[in-house]
Amino acid sequence: MRLLITILCFALGALSCNRDGVIEAEGTAPQITLDSPTGIYTIKVGESVTISPKYLNTDSSTAYSWTIDGSVVCTEPTYTFHATTTGEVYIQIEAANLYGYAKEELRVDVTELEVPAVTISANQSMTFAIGSNYLFRASVKQTSLQTTVVWRLNNEVVSEGTSYLFEATQAGVYTLTVTASNSDGQSSDSVEISVFTVEQMPFVWEFASDHFSAVVGRECIIEPIQCSDAEGVTYYWQSDNQPTDVSREHYYTYTPQSRGRHTIKGVASVLRGEESIVVSKLFTVDAYEESEFFRPATESSSKGWAKVYDYTPAPGQFINDNYTATTPSEACQIAEEKMKAGSYVSLGGFGGYIVVGFDHSISNIEGYDIVVGGNSFDSSSEPGVVWVMQDTNKDGEPNDTWYELAGSETGKSETIRGYEVTYFRPSAPGMSVEWIDNLGNSGTIDYLSQFHKQDYYYPLWISAESYTLKGTRLKERNYDKSGNGSLWIQPPYDWGYADNYSSIDRLSEGAGSDTSAMPNGFDISNAIDHSGKSVALKFIDFVKVQTACNTKSGWVGENSTEVFDIYAY
């Protein structure tokens, strides 16, 4: 600009004439008309735009100057701008001749490339027997560009679209890859598939621990965390060197009759062709009298929870929302801070849970013993199942046996105990979360950008690419009352669930909201074991609340239990 003004002033002085004492310049200054009527150009990162204004009153002597942030970037009539980062870039163009100059400002808006991220709703490695099949589904992040989705099995195209039915017809190792492509680029996700003959199929029978604690006269279940779904497996169980029990069950229910350490032996046997595979496991069970681990209240004891031991939500729109936790301990700390501040902790979709403990044992008295505060109100209940535990091994950690507190839906045919959902980490920000369950169903926790814009609804402190939550599922009751998706109703259940607007165990007549908790009362006497039988607990030490429905209500999003507080009645 300074250079142009200097040139302009010199030229005007040299070519002007004096008429009656008035100096006048001969000729006309330039005029600039941008080739964008709005003066705004939009491109994406990595792209270029050539700006070619129209000029009047210019010739070979005209000087041009393009500047960005005060620095000259071009001295030609046209300028090609190359975008390397996103954002707004302001550019000034000046044209000067011997008679004056003109100036215009324009803006270049640089946006991200719309690369279509894709995620397969499956584990990164899977094993199948010959003759089985599996429907793979892919979730693709929506863009404004036309996107194609292609599946390749060992680099051979086998399908197009968002799903592919894999049929295990031949033994071997395969790589299944799905690729989503548009004009801005592409992304892929892969699954390693191993196919075995029935004789080759590996047998897996894994347990989380080889040590258990129990109460004398009360059932203790020894259950694997992973077990092959194989036919022809025979299980042998032996306790305290007693006669062997032959069973078809992969787990064992043991009831110690005396205090002390007991030994359990489990053997699984399966025939693979002409070869017999035998897997042996040895367990110990320490049995105590119930009165041994009761912790009486003291003058400093509180009715409220003392510590959050575990916060593992399912994915949901309130997860990672306005907070950042990268480890399980940080997640527990955030949950504690929220409840102490009178706010709620969201448990996300089905199976998400929170575990708290008390500074003393909570006795089983007549009537309600525990209170859980949620934010239910008339037409909006998001029920959570409540579980309780005794510290039977006396280590102060919630690592013993959970007992479900029965509710109005317990025992109904539509209530599913032992229901499991596996959630998969999305491959890019802003994507819905894919899930599959143990019944062969699949779906998504939808990304609701109009309400919650955090990058991921998948908990940031869970490092695994997928995780499985197991619990009791209630039949969903939500429905669209409007018929057009604008008014979703989530009716209450009769009794026995957290965050539920029950007319029976609701302890307040107010309506729940973001700032006021709606409490429900719970009776320890309703405890049941894994088989649904009633269990007489004289007290408890830990409480778990877990989202009980796997459903979503349109624009409202997933049904997720919210917890404000947990305390003794």
Encode pLDDT of 28-50 as tens digits: 999 999 999 999 999 999 999 99
At residue 304, does pLDDT exceed 80?
Answer: yes
Report pLDDT for 490. Answer: 96
Q: Where are the alpha helices (DSSP H) in 351-439?
A: none
Residue 189, exposed/middle/buried by CB under 10 A (0-12, 13-18, 19+)?
Answer: buried
Give the start-end residues of each E strand in 141-294. Answer: 148-153, 156-160, 163-167, 172-182, 185-196, 205-206, 211-215, 220-222, 226-227, 234-239, 245-247, 252-254, 260-272, 275-288
Residue 116 falls in which region: left (phi positive, over 0), alpha (psi -120 to 50) or beta: beta
- Predicted confidence band of residue 7 (pLDDT cuts 50, 70, 90): very low
Phi and psi at 559, nearest 5°, equal -75, 120
Mean pLDDT check: name the lowest of 88-102, 189-203, 349-363, 449-463.
Answer: 189-203
At residue 460, does pLDDT exceed 70?
Answer: yes
- For residue range 178-197, list pLDDT tens digits in order: 999 999 999 999 999 999 98
The residues, ordered by sequence, that sit 6+ positions from 374 with a Cβ below 8 Å of its Cβ are 344, 382, 384, 498, 499, 500, 512, 517, 518, 519, 520, 561, 562, 563, 564
Q: In angstroms, rounded to a whole number, what is the distance separating the alpha carbons of residues 453 and 315?
A: 14
Q: How many CB atoms lie within 10 A of CB 400?
A: 21
Q: In angstroms, rounded to a whole number, what is the distance separating the alpha carbons of residues 328 and 337?
A: 14
- For residue range 240-277, list pLDDT tens digits in order: 988 887 877 899 999 999 999 999 999 999 887 777 88
Q: In angstroms, rounded to a whole number, what is the distance separating the alpha carbons of residues 509 and 503?
A: 9
User: Is 0.85 surpassed by the pTM of this model?
Assistant: no
Report pLDDT for 26. Answer: 65
Strand order in the sheet with 260-272: 211-215, 275-288, 260-272, 234-239, 245-247
At residue 177, does pLDDT exceed 70?
Answer: yes
Report pLDDT for 516. Answer: 58
Q: In angstroms, rounded to a whole number, what is the distance separating the alpha carbons of residues 556 and 560?
A: 11
Residue 55 falls in which region: left (phi positive, over 0), alpha (psi -120 to 50) or beta: beta
CATH topology of domain 118-196: Immunoglobulin-like (2.60.40)
- For residue range 317-362, list pLDDT tens digits in order: 999 999 999 999 999 999 999 999 999 999 999 999 999 999 999 9
Nearest to 422 by CA among 123, 216, 100: 123
CATH class as words, domain 2-111? mainly beta
* Residues β-bridged to residue 270: 277
The residues, ordered by sequence, that sit 6+ positions from 488 with a Cβ below 8 Å of its Cβ are 478, 479, 480, 481, 553, 554, 555, 556
- For residue range 126-168, list pLDDT tens digits in order: 999 899 999 999 999 888 899 999 999 999 999 999 999 999 9
Q: CA dist 44 to 85, 88, 392, 469, 533, Å?
A: 9, 11, 61, 41, 63
Q: In angstroms, rounded to a whole number, what is the distance separating the alpha carbons of residues 336 and 299?
A: 23
Report pLDDT for 23. Answer: 42
Q: Six-digit token pair at 21?
A: 């004492």
* Residues β-bridged to residue 436: 422, 442
Report pLDDT for 1. Answer: 46
Report CA torsion sign: 501, 503, 506, 509. Answer: positive
Q: CA dist 157 to 151, 153, 164, 175, 297, Å?
A: 6, 6, 11, 12, 67
Q: How many CB atoms lie within 10 A of CB 340?
A: 11
Report pLDDT for 198. Answer: 79
Report pLDDT for 2. Answer: 44
Task: Name the maximum alpha-carbon separation found in the chain.
Answer: 131
Q: In angstroms, rounded to a whole number, what is the distance separating the alpha carbons of residues 359 and 304?
A: 9
Report pLDDT for 14. Answer: 40
Asked whether 475 and 414 are in contact (CB, 8 A), the reply is yes
Q: Report domain extents, the chain.
A: 2-111, 118-196, 205-288, 293-568
- Considering just the CA atoms, what is the radius of gyration of the chain in Å? 34
- Predicted confidence band of residue 471 (pLDDT cuts 50, 70, 90): very high
Given this chain, do its domains 2-111 and 118-196 carry the same CATH topology?
A: yes
- Predicted confidence band of residue 51 (pLDDT cuts 50, 70, 90): very high
3-state secondary structure at position 398: coil
- Using CA atoms of 205, 216, 409, 405 in order, give the dihedral in degrees to the nearest 10: -110
At residue 312, does pLDDT exceed 60?
Answer: yes
3-state secondary structure at position 290: helix
Report pLDDT for 241. Answer: 85
Report pLDDT for 243. Answer: 81
Q: In angstroms, rounded to a whole number, what is the distance separating the alpha carbons of residues 267 and 245?
A: 10
- For residue range 213-248, list pLDDT tens digits in order: 999 999 999 999 988 876 778 999 999 988 887 877
- For residue range 508-552, list pLDDT tens digits in order: 865 444 445 899 999 999 999 999 999 999 999 999 999 999 999
Residue 278, exposed/middle/buried by CB under 10 A (0-12, 13-18, 19+)?
Answer: exposed
The residues, ordered by sequence, that sit 6+ positions from 409 with a Cβ below 8 Å of its Cβ are 415, 474, 475, 493, 494, 496, 497
Report pLDDT for 272. Answer: 76
Nearest to 422 by CA among 468, 367, 357, 453: 468
Looking at the chain, the whole-number percentage of residues with pLDDT higher than 70 is: 94
Q: In angstroms, rounded to a whole number, what is the distance separating the alpha carbons of residues 291 and 216?
A: 11
Report pLDDT for 511. Answer: 46
CATH topology of domain 205-288: Immunoglobulin-like (2.60.40)
User: Average pLDDT in the 65-70 region?
Assistant: 96
Looking at the chain, the whole-number percentage of residues with pLDDT higher than 90 is: 82
Residue type at 228 in one-letter notation: S
User: Average pLDDT in the 53-70 region?
Assistant: 95
3-state secondary structure at position 332: helix
Report pLDDT for 568. Answer: 95
